[in-house]
Amino acid sequence: MPSHNNSRRPYLPAFRRDWWLQLRFYQLYMLREATVLPLLFFISCLIYGLYSLSQGESQWLKWLDFMARPWVVALNVLTLAASLFHAKTFFELFPRVMPLAPPSLMIAVQWLATVVVAGGFVVLLGAWV
Amino acid sequence: MTSRNIGIMRYNPEQDKKPHTESYQVEADDNTSVLDALQQVQQQDPSLSFRWSCRMAICGSCGVMVNSVPKLGCQTFLRDYPDSLVISPLSNFAVEKDLIVDMEPFLEHLSAIKPWLINSEQSTVPHVQTPQQLARYQQFANCINCGLCYSACPQFGLNPEFRGPAALALAHRYNLDSRDLGKAERMPQLNAKDGVWTCTFVGFCSEVCPKKVDPAAAINQGKVESAKDMILSVFKSSGVR
């Protein structure tokens, strides 16, 4: 029996690997996801620091010297900026996933919590040093 | 009325190997929508194929890409694109002819999540619902099945097996409905490999939604439900009640 669909020839374009370059919205999404890359560097620094601490004073001083190098400081400043950007996107998305209160209030409370916790660490660190 | 140029992606499966853009002249003023422009072009060339019905953003038929962004043709105006305007078929779907795509994959995902009230209760008494109970799901009930969110979703583009924004948003909508008892039947679809966890919250689905359904929020609320479902199933299978 002849098919009524003989002339059907659906065309499905291949999904482009550079899809995320096509729109600004996608670029910002990829930037959000990419904030993990400088964070990986920072975590490596911390693990290296813990290792150095276990190896005694000379290794510890070597680590302090490493952390003070301009390119390391620059990368860690980049990490801080990336993490703050990620926090901004996260704090804005969170009220949509768990609508517990008006979104603007939830965003404000999350930033307040960030400031309090970060401030607490600075005070503790200051007291310890 | 001024004359202006627009580009339209054309594809004739009986003649063309792949789609190509053709340009047309249309008469436009501030009130001319993309759908109006398509109808003008159809007067010049009756072979142009596209879907439309209500002209008022209710039927969800006239979805097209306008400069690479999914839009309803009836709700998008030429005045907002003074420089250039290219109309192409919805992304991530196979093109049948010109601006007509095969929506079948979306419809299969939609029916898989059982988007209807599941309630075997045989009663002549109306299911009474408070305004608070209505408010829980109302936003997600505004979906018109236009499919724009599927064209906006790179995860659906990468993996067509992904249930996708509209289907998962409607699953959440019925799960939140106080009259519905079908959550247990829908959760396996949400929990599955191609369910809610495939979403990475790109969020463009919610940007393009003409009804402000916010499917990205619905899917990610679905992740919370899926996680709760998993924890509960661990307790149930270990015999804790």
Phi, psi (deg, nearest 5) at residue B118? -100, 110
Beta bridge partners of B20: B10
Secondary structure class of B8 (helix, strand, coil) = strand
Number of cross-chain residue pairs from A and B with Cβ atoms under 8 Å apart: 60
Per-residue CA distances from A63 to A43, B81, B189, B199 (Å): 14, 57, 51, 40
pLDDT at B186: 97
pLDDT at B121: 72
Residues 60-89 of A with CB under 8 A from B: none
pLDDT at A7: 78
pLDDT at A5: 59
Contact with chain B for residue A14, Cβ under 8 A: no
Beta bridge partners of B23: B7
Contact with chain A for residue B7, Cβ under 8 A: no
Q: Which residues of A touch B69 (CB under 8 A)?
A: 23
Parent domain of B117: 104-237
Same domain, B94 and B66: yes
CATH of residue B220: 1.10.1060.10
pLDDT at B241: 52
Sign of CA dihedral B50, B54, B60, B66: positive
Per-residue CA distances from A20 to A17, A23, A31, A33, B131 (Å): 8, 7, 10, 12, 41
Whether A1 shows a pLDDT value over 50: the answer reads: no
pLDDT at B125: 79
Contact with chain A for residue B96, Cβ under 8 A: yes
Give the span between the Cα atoms of B103 and B89, in whole angstroms. Answer: 11
Closest C-alpha among B150, B135, B68 to residue B105 = B150
Q: How far is B124 from chain A (nearest CA, A)?
A: 35
Of B68, B154, B217, the CB nearest to A97: B217
Give the span between the Cα atoms of B186 and B114, in whole angstroms. Answer: 7
- Where among B72, B101, B130 does a domain terminate? B101
Whether A90 shows a pLDDT value over 90: the answer reads: yes
Give the span between the Cα atoms of B4 and B26, in whole angstroms. Answer: 6
- Where among B51, B75, B101 does a domain terminate? B101
Kindly identify which residue of chain A lies nearest to residue B19, measuring between CA atoms: A11
What are the mean pLDDT values of chain B's consecutive 10-residue runs (241 residues total)? 96 95 97 98 97 97 98 98 97 98 97 93 82 96 98 97 98 96 95 97 98 97 96 81 52
pLDDT at B119: 87
Same domain, B54 and B7: yes
pLDDT at B239: 64
Same domain, B94 and B114: no
- Where among B59, B78, B101 does a domain terminate? B101
This model of the complex carries an ipTM of 0.91
Give the span between the Cα atoms of A79 and A14, in whole angstroms. Answer: 35
Kindly identify which residue of chain A lies nearest to residue B153, measuring between CA atoms: A26
CATH of residue B70: 3.10.20.30
Q: Which residues of A touch B13 (CB under 8 A)?
A: 7-11
Structure-token pair, residue A64: 């302090």
Beta-carbon separation of B96 and A10 below 8 A: yes
Q: Which residues of B touch A21 (CB under 8 A)?
A: none
**CATH fold for the domain made of A20-100:** 3 helical TM bundles of succinate and fumarate reductases (1.20.1300)
pLDDT digits (tens, 9 = 90+) for B51-68: 999 999 999 999 999 999
Residues 177-196 of B with CB under 8 A from A: none
Whether A89 shows a pLDDT value over 80: the answer reads: yes
How many residues are present in chain B?
A: 241
pTM score, whole prediction: 0.92
**Residue in the block written with tokens 């096509």:** A22
Sequence-distant (6+) residues with CB within 8 A of A86 are: A32, A35, A36
pLDDT digits (tens, 9 = 90+) for A7-62: 789 999 999 999 999 999 999 999 999 999 999 999 999 999 999 999 999 999 99
Beta bridge partners of B70: B65
pLDDT at B122: 72
Domain definitions of chain A by residue range: 20-100
